[in-house]
Amino acid sequence: MPPSGPSGPVPKEEGIKEQRTAWTKRPKEREINNSPLGRGIVRSIEVSTILPVMKKVLGFIAMLAVGGLLGYVGATLVLGDREPDGVPVLPEDYGTYLLLLLPVIYLVVVGIHELGHVLAGRWQNFKFYNLTIGPFAWKLDDDDRVRFVWNKNLNVAGGVAVMLPNGSNALRKRFMWFAAGGPLASLVLAMTCYPLAQVFGETSFLRFVAYTTAALSIVIFIATILPFRTGGFASDGLRILTFARNGATALADLTGLRALAHLRAGKAYDELPVEEMAAVSANEEVPGQQRVTMDYYRYLHAIGVGDIAKANSLFTSVMDRLDVYPSGTHGNFFLEEALFSAKYLNDLPAAEAAMEKVTSSPMTEPLSIHLANAAIAELKGDAEALATELPGIEKGLARSMDQSRVSTIRTWLSGWKDLVAKG
């Protein structure tokens, strides 16, 4: 997720403010009157908002249905519709069983796949932050404990494991193992369930369940080990292949991983390898997502050296190309936009407009929300609202993915506490 940058007292720069607000202005829905034309525009806005949500809901349902169907087809191909003696494999009311169990089996199979990533990440000294499996998610809270939350963001409703490396040694090898953990777990599950099915009687429903689980696990293994990119996500196979080839894309990924390790270690933004990042950003052979990521880290570097105009230009460029990232991650960027607009540009309208675009997901750090709200409350002079954000900020500092900004946030905290005390 996009980390927030350090700040000192920054003068208001009107030229920068104009550049930022040019792309943060929202459609003028609030200026629409109650005329027939106005009502028509409102309805069109509502439809344009509802349709993407419906598309995501239907897509998730379709994903479960396809997953269940693949498992069913795989199991029936192995078993056949009937055993040689003519006894049905499934009970007479099997339709009800399939309707209820196949989506569950699919989520279990996806869950085992993602747990494989988590176990491999722990083995390779990665820190756990989030695990999402369909509507279920587990994330670190402000007390550094893993807690369950419902995932309401359908953009990450398949399966996602978020872990970041501790240290920067042997990142290429470590990340290859992390990427391979999921497919290996799927393969192990399939190889376990297939012989297990032989234990059950030929007419046992459990036998069908075991075969279905094995078949679906093989499907997940094949689907994730194949090298491809979709919806802003690279498959496990593509990541492994990229690092194995060790070409320009691998260099970009390694540069990004080193930057993450840099932030996790709490090193200063101005020590980020900006020349290396600029070279990756300019390399047209590198996929767009990695190039945009390099510009994001260059934005952090510009904040670190106090070049706010350059930071603004780089961040504007990142936001203009936000579509290269999965839509489920966009809320994190809008939170950064809100904080940058409020704390660095003193631009309250832009900050509030950015906050209106935020959609939270299990991958969103509560600290980022508290920081953005606090910066906006400070601009408004709302000491009461500011006071409500401070406890969450203090609790979230130690567990932030970006430790490089912690010292600056502590400086902000001191000033915010003074404002609250003055009322």
Q: How does the average pLDDT of the chain come out, rounded?
A: 81
Q: Largest alpha-carbon pair distance within the chain?
A: 86
What is the 3-class SS of 179-220, one letter each residue?
A: HHHHHHHHHHHHHHHHHHHCCCCCCCHHHHHHHHHHHHHHHH
Alpha-carbon gap, residue 81 to 129, rounded angstroms: 44
Amino acid type, 308: I
Structure tokens at 200: 């059950």
Alpha-carbon gap, residue 119 to 187, rounded angstroms: 15
Q: Please name the helix (run of DSSP H) or strand (run of DSSP E) that holds residue 229, with its range, or none.
A: strand 229-230
Q: Which parts of 227-273 fold into alpha helices (H)?
A: 236-245, 248-264
pTM of the predicted structure, to 2 decimals: 0.71
Sketch the domain layout of the chain as residue ranges: 44-125+167-240, 255-274+298-422
Q: How far apart are the first and last CA of the chain?
A: 33
Average pLDDT over residues 7-32: 38
Rg of the chain on CA atoms, in Å: 25
Cα–Cα distances (Å) from 120 to 145, 174, 288, 322, in that order, read: 20, 9, 27, 30
Structure tokens at 321: 């190309």
Which of 158-167, 239-248, 294-303, 372-381 is the least confident region?
A: 158-167
Partners of residue 149 on adjacent β-strands? 137
Partners of residue 164 on adjacent β-strands? 127
Alpha-carbon gap, residue 91 to 205, rounded angstroms: 7
For the stretch 61-88, pLDDT in tens is: 555 555 555 555 655 555 554 444 444 5
Which residues have CB under 8 Å from 247's CB, separation 6+?
285
How deeply is 379 buried, as exposed, middle or buried, from its count of CB atoms within 10 A (0-12, 13-18, 19+)? middle
- pLDDT for 412 beyond 70: yes
For the stretch 122-155, pLDDT in tens is: 999 999 989 999 889 998 876 778 889 888 766 5
Three-class secondary structure of residue 413 per DSSP: helix
